[in-house]
Chain A
């Protein structure tokens, strides 16, 4: 009961005081406003469960406050308070969406019963929403969200391939959710009780890769003070997820191919063969066929990995999922940061729909996180979005994608004084990728 927040809007101090004192004894959290103007300002920053609003007030009237609430927060119950002479207005208010009205003065039990009824109905509505969300099975699959056709196809495919033992290769742009897809395959496979071990081939330096993958025996090299199990060994009975497989060195490709064929390997410095049983899921944002042509990726390894392959669709090709995803991230970050931001404005959604999202879902996730952190209102506005720039022609989607991406990277770098770590986080890509894009697009730091 203590979490129920009630907002009293009345221009008479004595009414506000007596009602708030009464409700506080019932354990409700109460706030008050002495005018419609003050009420609307407070409503922009705080969410209440119930509003008790006097109809007759100077300036912005109770009916105007009701209208504001109905437009911005239709789930909030509004009860109008009125004197005998204004019953007609109270009835008009009911037609405009007020939950009920109370005639001043009202019986204490009448108020108590009404509040309990509202609280109960709101709890019921929340439960219904929760159940409905659970039924939205088709829009969610494990941690992935999407109601678009491309995502529905991905969900179906994962359901089909998960129970099999075959190696899976997931392709797709950076930030498009390849890691989540890999995890979903694992979770829905017979190996779900076993470990899910990630090897980020792009993040582990070449000289450490061998030891990371295969482990080492004590004394195998100067720093090998203890025997250490490698990730292949740790993945026994589970799934080994080789992320950014396109970044792996030619030397490691040879070693990896051998393990994938035999499921046997040796620790660095070890003499005993170690047998392992794991399923491999690999992912890359690179065009591996092109890499084979360029002789930077082994064809035999490619065939070994490419038993079942699918592509994660980029966000720009499934924009209908954007509001759903944005709302999901908003809920998560507002909860994490404990900020009462519970809505994304229509204008902000429009801006997001226009944007091309080169960093895909990860970029969206970062954009919402940033918006929640910097946001001052209860809803996210276009100004809170990192890419927002109202008259920036690069946001117009008819530009070539690479031009948009280049301009976007330039702007983010500029805004962050060329801090690579910060910029890559905002862009939703890792630092290596950012460096390669800076090189590819010939982006130069301007003074």
Chain B
């Protein structure tokens, strides 16, 4: 992969987030994108995005605020939150990203489903890292992949998340390399 070491991907905890999660996310990002990471809280409060009727947070305005607060040297920003996220048309989302956008966000709210965190911590960390890299993948213009082993595969259930690997398939890998080269060339 093209080295973008002078830039970093910012991991931004949004609200109260377990700091133990930053390590697996950092490793996942390094493995797939080859980039440095920096943990940097950018949004102290997300109550502006709360929908009291649904008791969930609308992810789109959070993404917008994250983008406004993003430091210029960051190539991408990923927000991590423990609140339950939604977009108006859907009941919930694990995360949101715009294709080719600068920011994305994931929620850990539903990722502990079926686990005892005291004994299944590794699985939980793996799930969080997979979803974080998946959403970041969208910001590098990757779309959902049919290969159910690929990190960019869209998971219908938490079982699907566990089933997929922590790697991109060779097609997504090539597309990512193309996009990273394009970013490096454009300075």
Residues of A bordering B, CB below 8 Å = 1, 12, 14-15, 17-19, 21-22, 24-27, 81, 104-109, 111-113
Contacts and interface: CB of A to CB of B under 8 A. Distances in A.
B72 interface: no
Contact of A106 (B90, B96, B154, B157): B90
Contacts of B90: 18, 22, 105-108, 111
B88 A25 contact: no
8 contacts: A18-B87, A19-B89, A27-B143, A81-B89, A105-B89, A107-B91, A108-B92, A108-B93
Nearest to B94: A108
B156 A106 contact: no
A43 B98 CA distance: 27
Interface of B: 60, 86-93, 96-99, 138, 143-144, 146, 154, 156-157
Contacts of B87: 18, 21-22
Contacts, number: 58
B156 A112 contact: yes
Contacts of B96: 21
A104 B89 contact: yes
A26 B143 contact: yes
Contacts of B143: 24-27
A106 B99 contact: no
B143 to A, nearest CB: 4
A90 to B, nearest CB: 15
B88 A105 contact: yes
Nearest to B54: A105
A108 B88 contact: no
Nearest to B60: A18
Top 9 A-B residue pairs of the complex, sorted by shortest distance between their CB atoms: A18-B87, A109-B156, A27-B143, A19-B89, A26-B144, A18-B89, A107-B91, A105-B91, A108-B90
Contacts of B98: 21
Given A19-B89, A106-B90, A107-B90, 10 more contacts: A1-B146, A12-B88, A15-B89, A18-B60, A21-B98, A22-B93, A24-B99, A25-B99, A25-B143, A109-B157
Nearest to A108: B90
A22 B89 CA distance: 10
A127 B139 CA distance: 36
B144 to A, nearest CB: 5
A362 B90 CA distance: 54
A25 B146 CA distance: 12
A105 B96 CA distance: 16
A129 B157 CA distance: 35
A19 B86 CA distance: 12
A14 B156 contact: no
Contacts of A12: 88
B88 A18 contact: yes
Contacts of B89: 15, 18-19, 22, 81, 104-106
B174 to A, nearest CB: 16
B159 to A, nearest CB: 12
A24 B142 CA distance: 11
Contacts of B86: 105
Contacts of B157: 109
Contact of B60 (A17, A27, A111): A17
B132 to A, nearest CB: 15
Contacts of B146: 1
Contacts of B138: 25
Most buried by A among B87, B98, B138, B157: B87
Nearest to B152: A25
B60 A108 contact: no
